[in-house]
Amino acid sequence: MEKQQKTIVAILFVILVAVIGLWGLDLSQGYSMVSQLKNDPQTHIGNEVSTMGIIKNGTLQVSPGVITFLLVDVEDHVSEVEVEYTGDLPATFAEGQGISLTGTMVSAQKIEAHQIVMGCPSKYTE
């Protein structure tokens, strides 16, 4: 009986550690492409969205407290959405770079981002 109780306690401990480790982690939402957001904006307006894209060259405007730019879809390179960001910029933030962001879609043309993560630079060149 002693060995069976130890096994049960060990299993419960592993489950407890897994629950604590995953607490607060949002597993329900993946990344939507910019084109998906633009094709069906009504389902996203007012909601938090996560997307990725490329900062369009010539659109980056940095003002005190506000950064705006156009985010272009990485797949079709045509769909774009305006992004307004008020946080601290990552060190490698620049036009033409790939980013992932999370924020609220406030209109069919605009996302107010509250988190930006830069894509990893490629080690390879063509």
Give me 84's structure tokens.
């307004």
**Of residues 29 and 7, which shows the higher confidence score?**
7
Asked if residue 124 has pLDDT above 60, the reply is no
How confident is the model at residue 71, as a pLDDT? 95
**64: confidence class by pLDDT, cuts 50, 70, 90:** confident
pLDDT digits (tens, 9 = 90+) for 19-31: 777 665 554 457 8
Identify the DSSP state of 77. Answer: S
How confident is the model at residue 29, as a pLDDT? 56
Say if strands 32-33 and 80-85 run parallel, antiparallel, or are unpaired. unpaired
| Domains assigned to the chain | 29-118 (2.40.50.140)
Closest CA to 55 of 38, 66, 71: 71
Average pLDDT for the chain: 85
What Å distances lie between residue 61 and 21, 111, 120, CA to CA? 39, 15, 23
Helix ranges (H only) for 26-91 are 34-39
pTM summary value: 0.70
Asked if residue 61 has pLDDT above 60, the reply is yes
How confident is the model at residue 26, as a pLDDT? 53
How confident is the model at residue 74, as a pLDDT? 87
Asked if residue 120 has pLDDT above 80, the reply is no
